[in-house]
């Protein structure tokens, strides 16, 4: 399955299939290549308070925000649970940071309405990583590095962006 059934974004499998392909194209051309990993902050609390249907709708709205901030050649995917990955070919760390900040602000300012009519605010934590395409790193190395950057953002207070070099 190439798309996540809930969000319509690319599936986790597609991260590896399409992501590796785009990464090696950038390595060959010498273009920059970055990743953004996103985690919806405290989704479990929202699920516990309002139910999983509301949590699923929130994930769908968050994925719409992510999709709207992606270019045609980017790959936006659901990594698992409440985590998403943006694969940004031909994008350096500064460009990836700008995309992450735009999405972070939109999450923070978005008012989501629960099934029972309750307005819910949500935020996200973000990790950003730029591959060193001259080192010809393994694609999976970047996923581990961006995951570590995301962990640092969550550890340092959430609703923020952290970088890995």
Q: Which of 114, 112, 84 is nearest to 100 (CA)?
A: 84
Q: What SS3 state is found at 115?
A: coil
Give which of 154, 132, 144 is closest to 85, Cα–Cα. Answer: 144
Q: Are the C-beta atoms of residues 70 and 3 closer than 8 Å to each other?
A: no
Rg, C-alpha atoms of the chain: 16
Non-local CB neighbours of 49 within 8 Å, separated by 6+ positions = none
Task: Pick the catalytic residue from 25, 82, 138, 140.
Answer: 82
Q: Is the dihedral of CA 94, 158, 46, 113 positive or negative?
A: negative
Identify whether 82 is a catalytic site residue: yes
Kindly list the catalytic residues. 82
């Amino acid at each position: 399955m190439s798309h996540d059934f809930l969000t319509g974004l690319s599936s986790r499998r597609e991260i590896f299939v399409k992501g590796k392909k785009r990464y090696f194209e950038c390595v060959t051309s010498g273009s920059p290549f970055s990743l953004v990993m996103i985690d919806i902050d405290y989704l479990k609390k929202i699920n516990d308070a309002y139910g999983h249907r509301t949590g699923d709708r929130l994930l769908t709205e968050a994925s719409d925000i992510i999709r709207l901030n992606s270019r045609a050649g980017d790959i936006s995917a659901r990594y698992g649970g409440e985590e998403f990955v943006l694969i940004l070919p031909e994008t350096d760390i500064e460009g990836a940071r700008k995309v992450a900040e735009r999405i972070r602000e939109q999450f923070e300012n978005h008012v989501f309405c629960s099934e029972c009519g309750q307005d819910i605010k949500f935020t996200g934590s973000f990790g950003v990583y730029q591959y060193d395409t001259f080192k010809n790193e393994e694609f999976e190395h970047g996923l581990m590095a961006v995951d570590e950057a995301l962990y640092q953002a969550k550890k340092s207070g959430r609703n923020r962006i952290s970088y890995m070099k």
